[in-house]
Structure 1
Amino acid sequence: MSEVLVNEYRGGYVENVHYGHICGVDANGIRYGTGNVRHLTFLRSSGKPIQALPALIHGADEAFGLSEKETAIMSGSHWAETFHVSELESMMVKIGIAEEQLVCSPTYPLNGAARDELFVSGSPKRRIYHNCSGKHLGILSLCKHKGYDLQGYTDTDHPAQQEIAATLAYLAAMPVEEVVTGVDGCGCPVFAIPLDRLATAYLKLALPELIEDHAVRRAAIKIAGLMNRHPEMVSGSGQICSILLLDDNIVAKGGAKGVYCFGLREEGLGFALKVLDGSQEEWPLIIASILEQIGYSRQETIDRLRALAPADMLNDNGIVAGRNEAVFKLQRYES
C-alpha cells in the first residue's frame, strides 16, 4: 500500500525511487494521507519529546534546577557541538550523574567540525557525544528524582520505561498493551505504533489543550515551547529539526530510518511520515510539499526547507546532474 513519495532523476530518467506513507490528523481523526495511514512505525528519535515528558511531569527539571536549554536537549538528537556538550556536562553535575552511568556507547560527534577537532587533538570518544545522551540524562533525572534504580534504566520493565510507554499510549489514544517494543540504537526501548496514532501524539504536542490530564498537558506545553525557543538544542546547526522549529507554529522531530513527525498549531494538524528505505535526505522535500498541498501560509518556512534540499542535484563540480521531485498527492479524508 506504499506510495512513491520522491523520484530522483538523472539524464531524464528515474534513477532512485523513495516509497513511503504519510498521515495527517486533526482533533476529529485522519484528514490527509498517502499510502497506508496506519503503517506500524518505530518512532526512533521522533519519540524523544514524548520520552522527556515523564521527567517534566514529575518536576525533575525543576528539582535539579535545569535551565531551559538543558531541559530542551532532553528532546533532542544533538550533534555534540560545543554548545551541546556544555549543556550536557552541566546537566550531569546538577543531576549528580557520572558519565559512565549512561548506557549509550562512547562515540564521536555527528558534527563534522567538532569531530575533526577531536581527531586532531587525539581526544577520546565520550558517551555524552552520543546524539541520544540528552534523552538518557532526562530519563536518569527522572530516576534520581523519583528514587528509581539507576541500574537497568533502559530495561523495558523499569518504572521509568513503563511511564514513558504509558505516556506515549495516552497521547496516541491507544491501549499501552498495543504498543510494540523493540531496542533502539542507543540501548533504550523503542516503540512502534500506527502512523495515525503517532500523528495524533504530535497533534497533542502542538495543541496541548487536547490533553485532559493536567500534569501531562503542563509538561507538553513546556517541552514543545522549549523546542521552539531553543531549536539548536534539538538537532544540529543547519539540520532540519532546528530549521523547522524556528517556526513557532511548528513542533517537529525526526528519527532514524526515515520517520518524521510535526504538529501545526494554527491549523490544528499533526503529521507523521515514513520513508520506507530509511532515507532522511528527502525529508525537507516531502515536508515542503505537504505544507504546500495544505496551503500553509508561512512561506518562509517552506523556503527554508527548499533551501535545505534543493530540487537540483549538483555533482562534485557544481554542475546540475539530476533532480529530486516530490511526486505524491495527499488524499483528503472527510469526517
Structure 2
Amino acid sequence: MKAVTLVEETRAGLVENVHTGMICGVNENLETIYHAGDSSHYTYYRSAAKPIQALPVFLSNCIKKYGLTSEEAALFTASHRGESYHIDALESMLNKLPVHENELYCPYSYPLNAKPKKEMLRKNKEKRRLYHNCSGKHMGFITVCREYGYPVEGYWEVDHPLQQHILKLLSELSEVPLAKIHSGLDGCGVPVFAIPLQNMALTYLKLACSELIGDLQVQKAVKQMTSVMNKHPRIVASENFICSELLQDQNIVAKGGAQGVYCFGLKKERMGFALKVLNGSEDVWPVIVASILEQIGYKNKETIARLRALKPSIITNDAGVEVGKVHEKFSLTNM
C-alpha cells in the first residue's frame, strides 16, 4: 500500500496533523488518468455506496406507486443529519410506504447535527430508528423487499436476496468480479463492500455519465436517482456539508462515506474520482476535493469557492485568532 501526504495542518509553524491517503481519477475510456498514491488499494465504500444501495428502489415502480415526492426519494441515497426537513420527509414516507419504523434494522439514534439533537434532548424526546442517518436507506430496503417478494426478515444479511441484488449491481457498475469484492459490516448493520479505489472512481463516473452503463434499465434508474440528488442536495446531507455543496453543482454526482472515503463524478468532463484519507478524517475532504478540481482545471469556480469556505486555509482558535494553517501537499500525477 503506497500512500502520500494529502494535507498537513500546522500550528505556529509546527506540523500538528498529517493526513495521508490515496486519490484516483478515471476517464470515459475507463482508464486511470490521475492518481496520488496507490489506486489499487482496496477500500470500503461505507456510505459512498448509498446511491448503489438505492438503485433497486429506482429500478422498481415504488416511487410512483406510493406517490413519493422527489425530495422524499432523495432520502434513499442520503446520510441525513436529522434536520427538521429530513424528519418531516421521513415521517411522510412512513405514512406512504409499506414500512413500520420498528422494522428498520438501523439502531435507535439522535440526529447527527448538534442543533436538532440538542433540541430533542431539551424536549426529552427519545432516540428513534428514524433519526439514524441511514434510515432512508433502510426504508428503501424494506419497501423493495415487499415489492420484489423478498422476505423482510434478515434483509440486512449478506446472503439475503436484496443484498445479493445490490452486490450484483455493484459488480456490474465497478467492473469488479463478484469473487474479488470483499464484504464486511457497516455501521448501520448492513453489508459493506470493498473494491480497488480505481473501480470506485469508475462507479462514480458511470453514476455521472449513465450512458456508459450497458443495461438500459439501470441506466434509466441511475439518471432518475442522480437527478433527485442534484435537485435536493441538502436532503443528501444538510447545509454546510460537502455532499450538499457539491450536489448544488448540476455537473457533479457525489457522496461520502465514513472513515475518510469520498467519491464524485463529473458529467461534462466525463471523469470519476475516489479518495481515501487513511486516518479516517472527513474534515479535510473539502480541501482535497477543491484541490483536485483546481488541478484538473475545473471551470465552475463557485463550486470550488463553496468547498474552500467549508475548510478555510487559516486555522483560528475559539476567539477567532489565527493560530495555524492548512496546507495541501499532493500533486496529481497525470498518466
Q: When the two structures are superposed, what TM-score results if normalisation uses the length of structure 1? A: 0.98
Provide the C-alpha distance between the structure 2 equivalents of 1:96 and 1:226, rounded to a whole number of angstroms. 22
Alignment of 1:205-216 (within 5 A): 205-216=207-218
8 Å CA contact retained: 1:95, 1:144: no
Match of 1:259 in 2: 261
Match of 1:326 in 2: 328
Q: Displacement, 1:55?
A: 1.5
Secondary structure of 2:223's counterpart equals helix
Match of 1:82 in 2: 84
Moved over 6 A (4+): none
Match of 1:198 in 2: 200
Secondary structure of 1:324's counterpart equals strand
Alignment of 1:170-249 (within 5 A): 170-249=172-251
Provide the C-alpha distance between the structure 1 equivalents of 2:332 and 2:49, rounded to a whole number of angstroms. 24
Match of 1:98 in 2: 100
Provide the C-alpha distance between the structure 2 equivalents of 1:189 and 1:94, rounded to a whole number of angstroms. 27
**CA offsets 1:191-227 (integer angstroms, 9 cap, x no match):** 1010000000000000000001011001100111110
Secondary structure of 1:52's counterpart equals helix
Match of 1:146 in 2: 148
Amino acid at match of 2:89: E
Provide the C-alpha distance between the structure 2 equivalents of 1:113 and 1:308, rounded to a whole number of angstroms. 18
**CA offsets 1:275-320 (integer angstroms, 9 cap, x no match):** 0000000000000000000000000000000001000000111101
Amino acid at match of 1:2: A
Amino acid at match of 1:207: C
Q: Displacement, 1:14?
A: 1.3
Provide the C-alpha distance between the structure 1 equivalents of 2:230 and 2:191, rounded to a whole number of angstroms. 26
Match of 1:297 in 2: 299
Amino acid at match of 1:12: G
Match of 2:18 in 1: 17
Structure 1's unaligned 5+ residue stretches are none
Q: Displacement, 1:139?
A: 1.1
Structure 2's unaligned 5+ residue stretches are none
8 Å CA contact retained: 1:63, 1:145: no
Amino acid at match of 1:24: G
RMSD (Å), alpha carbons: 0.8
**CA offsets 1:24-82 (integer angstroms, 9 cap, x no match):** 00122101000001110000000001100012112222222221111111001001111
8 Å CA contact retained: 1:81, 1:111: yes
Q: When the two structures are superposed, what TM-score results if normalisation uses the length of structure 2? A: 0.98
Alignment of 1:267-286 (within 5 A): 267-286=269-288
Provide the C-alpha distance between the structure 1 equivalents of 2:270 and 2:52, rounded to a whole number of angstroms. 19
Match of 1:315 in 2: 317
Q: Displacement, 1:176?
A: 1.6
Secondary structure of 2:68's counterpart equals coil
Match of 2:5 in 1: 4
Amino acid at match of 1:305: L
Q: CA, structure 1 residues 176+63, in 2 after alignment: closer, same or farther (shift >3 Å)?
A: farther
Amino acid at match of 2:210: P
8 Å CA contact retained: 1:169, 1:176: yes
Amino acid at match of 2:43: T
Higher alpha-carbon deviation: 169-178 or 189-198: 169-178
Secondary structure of 2:25's counterpart equals strand
Provide the C-alpha distance between the structure 1 equivalents of 2:61 and 2:206, rounded to a whole number of angstroms. 20
